[in-house]
Structure 1
Amino acid sequence: MSGIRLKHKGWVVVADGEKALFLENAGTPNNPALQVFNAFEQPNPKTAAQGTDRPGRVSNGAGNAHRSAVQETDWHRLAKHEFAREIASVLENSARADRFEQLVLVAPAVVIGELRKLLSGSVADRIISELNKDLTRHPIPEIEKLLFE
């Protein structure tokens, strides 16, 4: 329980590598009431399901005597990065339009780390709290309870 005090019309973004919920506080800091106003998903199967090629090989010099395998691309990880880029883009555009004053990020550490790299100072300055949890499949009342009590 975090005890966060989020202003009226403050935002909460609950995300993982595949789903993002954008919530707005329709209540007050003392009596918050989160409402979903935007949500999107990106199917992101495991890397094995996305790429079936064998890893490539590279020659280390003249002749073919020394060949090394090249690490296979982690398509799952790349998709999570692209999804974080989408979330960051929505937040950047909304900050420019001054649609929110405060922001709470709720996501696994990897996603929060990706977002930190992508967000400008104008969005980062509005972040009042970060919670390292995956709550994308939780109902809104449970999210409220975890954040505000």
Structure 2
Amino acid sequence: MPLANNALVLVTDGRKTLFFRNEGDQNQIDLRTEAHDERDDADFNRDLASDAPGTTQQSGGYGHSTYEETDFKQLEEDRWAHNAAEEVNKRALANDFDALAIIAPPKTLGELRKKLHKEAERRVVVEIAKEMTGHSIPDIEALLTNETKPAELADV
């Protein structure tokens, strides 16, 4: 399905979130940056995970079992995706867009899907499981153009 004029495009990866608006039409995508947010997490995991994993004594036997260390970086990336979904939900409920395109890595895309309101889900026209936050706007436009091409043109 081609990406309509005024469609909202979300590009996120758990560290960076970009919102674009398609100022073009179905034949020529023209993305304009609407909002962006990025976090710096170079030392994030080291600062939070200063303790060793916990242990517990096993019942009915000898020895100790070690708990798996919490991946604080992954938890923060999941929270970041949930925040992006909340923003999309707020915009959907305010009728800010009729069509939504989401581009995110597979894991982030899965977290987004968990938190999307039914009204936002209804407006999703394309989901692309790919990391694109570090790419240029023309690269994102080209990807969307290729993914939203009508079926009869895609085979040409």
TM normalised by structure 2 equals 0.85
Unaligned runs of 5+ in 1: none
Q: Distance in 2 between matches of 1:99 and 1:69?
A: 49
Aligned length: 145
Task: Describe how 1:7-46 pairs up with structure 2 within 5 A.
Answer: 7-45=4-42
Please name the residue that 1:125 is paired with. 122
One of 50, 56, 59 as aligned partner of 1:58: 56
SS at 2:70's partner residue?
coil
CA deviation after TM superposition for structure 1 residue 48, in Å: 4.3
* Cα distance in structure 1, aligned partners of 2:134 and 2:107: 18
Unaligned runs of 5+ in 2: 147-156
1:132 CA drift (Å): 1.2
Correspondence 1:110-149 to 2 at 5 A: 110-149=107-146
Choose from 83, 98, 103 the match for 1:106.
103
Counterpart residue identity of residue 139, structure 1: S
2:84 maps to 87
Percent identity of paired positions between Structure 1 and Structure 2 = 32
Deviations 1:60-119 (CA, angstroms, capped at 9, x unpaired)? 248x95321111111011001100111011001000100011011101000000011111
SS at match of 2:91: helix
Q: Partner of 2:143: helix, strand, or coil?
A: helix
RMSD, aligned α-carbons: 1.9
